[in-house]
Amino acid sequence: MRRALLETPADHLRRRAARSPNGPALEWDGGSATWRELHERAEGVAARLGAVVGGRAATIHATPGMEAVAALFGVWRAGGVAVPLHERLTPREVAAARRIVDPALHIDDDLARELARDAPGSRPQRPSAAGDPHRNAAPHRHRGPATIAFILTSGSTGRSRAIGFSHANFAASAASVASRLRLAPADRWGLCLSTGHIGGLSLVVRAVLLGAPVRLWPAFDPDGVATAIARGEVTHLAVVPVMLRRLVARLRDASIPPTLRCVLVGGAAASPGLLRDAWTAGLPLATTWGMTETTSQIATAPPSLARRFPGTAGRPLRRIQVRSDANGVLQVRGPTLAASVVATPGARPQPLPADSSGWFATRDLGRVDEGGRVWIEGRADATIVSGGLNVSPAEIERVIAMAPGVRDAVVFGVPDEEWGEVVAAVVEADPGMVDAARIDEHCRARLSRGRCPTRIVVVDALKRTWTGKVIRPRARDLLETQPASNARPAAPHARPAPNRVAP
C-alpha cells in the first residue's frame, strides 16, 4: 500500500528503461535520447536534488527539451511535487505562480542544464539551502502524499490557481486516451503544447506509460511541425485552435501522408470555419473536450466520428461519466478528477469541489445526445439576460464565426438601463475586409433581433492565453477603448430596424 502511494511517473520511466533501454524516447532537431538515457539523466537530477524537494514543490520554468523533461522526472524521482510552468510566462507571471505553490526550489534554464550535466569522477553535488537563490528560505509543506504535480491555470478569467494531480489521475487519463485513440508504442507524438499546460504534461506522462517516443520543439514552430508531418516523423499531434490555424496555413496546398493518423484539437473551442479548413487540408482531426481539472480529456471524437458529427466533442472516455443537470450544466465523474486545488496564495490545498456522489460541475453548458456524444453549448456563467430573454454568447459567437473573413468572436452582455443587458461582440478579423456593418447584416439574417449584437467592434487580434483561449476581460476592455469608427450601436428586441445605424 505504501508503494502505491509513492508511485510516480519516474517509476514508469525506470521500468521502461529496463525493458527497452535502446528504444527511442525523445527526439528533437539535431538529437535524440533513448529511454535509458532519459532515465539516467533523471536519476542524475534526483541525486543532485537529494532531500531539497522531498515532499515539496519545485517549479520548472525551462525551454522544452531534454533538460526540462529530465528535470520533471528528476523532481518526481527525488520525491518532489513537480510544477511545470509555461516557458513563455513573463517574470511577473512566474513570480505570481511561485507565490501560489510556494516552491522549495525553482528550476530555470540555467539550473536545468546544471542539474542534467554529468559530473565524471565525483559524486553529484546537491543544491543546498544556503546561498541558493532558486530556493525559498521557508518552504510551505502542505502537499499531501497523493499530489505529485500542480498545473497553474487561469483560463479566460485571468485569475490564477493551482490544480493538483495524483499519479492515479495521470494513469487513468493515459489508459482512457490510449483506449479511445487506439494508441500503441509505435506511435510518435509531436509535442506542440507546453508541459506547463495539462495537455502537454499528460502527453509526456502518457508517452512514458505507453513507451511511445515524443518529438520535441523548443517552441511551437508551424513550419517545423509541417515538415515533420511531411517526412512522416509524427503520427499524432495535440494542438489548440490558434496552433491549428497556423498549421493549416502551412499545409493548405500540401499532401498529408497517411503516417499522420490524428490531430487532436482542444484547449478551446475551434470555430466551424477552422474545422472546415482543416478537413479541406486533409488533416485527420479528433475533436475533444477537456479541462485542467480532469487531467486533460473528458470526451474525444476520433477523426472518423468528428467528421460525421461536426462540432461534437465525442463520447466520454472510458471510466468517465458525463451528464447535464436541469440547467444544462455539464457534470463529470471519474478517476481523472484532480486531487486538489489551491485557489489563492497561501491557501492550503482543498479537494476539488464535487457533490456527495462525486459529480463535478464544469461550468460548461451542453448536452449528451441519444448516441452518447457530448455537445458543448457555452458557459454557464456567461448567459446574457436581455429583457427577460436568455441569450447564449456561444450561440452568437458561432454565428459570427461563420461570416466570411472572420477568424473568431467573443460575445458579452453589457449593462443597459432599459433592457438590463444587451449583446455586444468583439470580432477578430481583418478590419480592412470586415466591418461592423457587415457583421451586423450577417447576424440580422440569422438571429432574432434580441440576439443580435447591439455594439460590434472589429479588431485584428484578440488577446489570448498561451493555450489559445481568449482572455475575456481584455476583450471586454476593447468595447470601451476601440475608436468609435469600429463600433456599431444597435437596438435589441422589438425596436425598429431603422434605428440600427452606424455612428
For residue 443, the domain's CATH number is: 3.30.300.30
pLDDT of residue 26: 97
Distance (Å, rounded) from C-alpha 502 to C-alpha 500? 7
- Residues 194 and 251 occupy one common structural domain: yes
Cα(265)–Cα(19) distance, integer angstroms: 32
Same domain, 360 and 469: no
Q: What residue numbers bound the domain in which 104 lies? A: 2-376
Identify the pLDDT of residue 386: 79
Identify whether residues 372 and 423 lie together within a single domain. no
> Which residue in 259, 266, 308 sits closest to 287, CA to CA?
266
Instruction: Give 167's contacts (C-beta < 8 A, 6+ positions apart).
Output: 7, 8, 9, 146, 148
How many domains, the chain? 2
Considering the domain architecture, whether residues 354 and 416 belong to the same structural domain is answered as no
- 54 shares a domain with 171: yes
Q: Which residues pair with 379 in a beta bridge?
A: 364
Q: CA 74, CA 379: separation in Å to the nearest integer?
A: 39
> Of 334, 354, 376, which residue constitutes the final position of a domain?
376
pTM: 0.79
- Of the residues 352, 376, 400, the one at which a domain ends: 376
Q: Which of 324, 357, 376 is the last residue of a domain?
A: 376
- Find, among 224, 231, 234, 311, the residue nearest to 265 by Cα: 311
Which residues of the chain have a pLDDT value below 50?
A: 1-5, 119-145, 156-157, 484-503
Contact 102, 140 (CB under 8 A): yes
Same structural domain, 394 and 372: no
The number of residues in the chain equals: 503
CATH number (domain holding residue 344): 3.40.50.12780
Same domain, 47 and 115: yes
Query: Are 40 and 155 in a shared domain?
Result: yes
Same-domain check for residues 346 and 427 = no
CA–CA dist 420, 388 (Å, integer): 8
Same domain, 13 and 143: yes
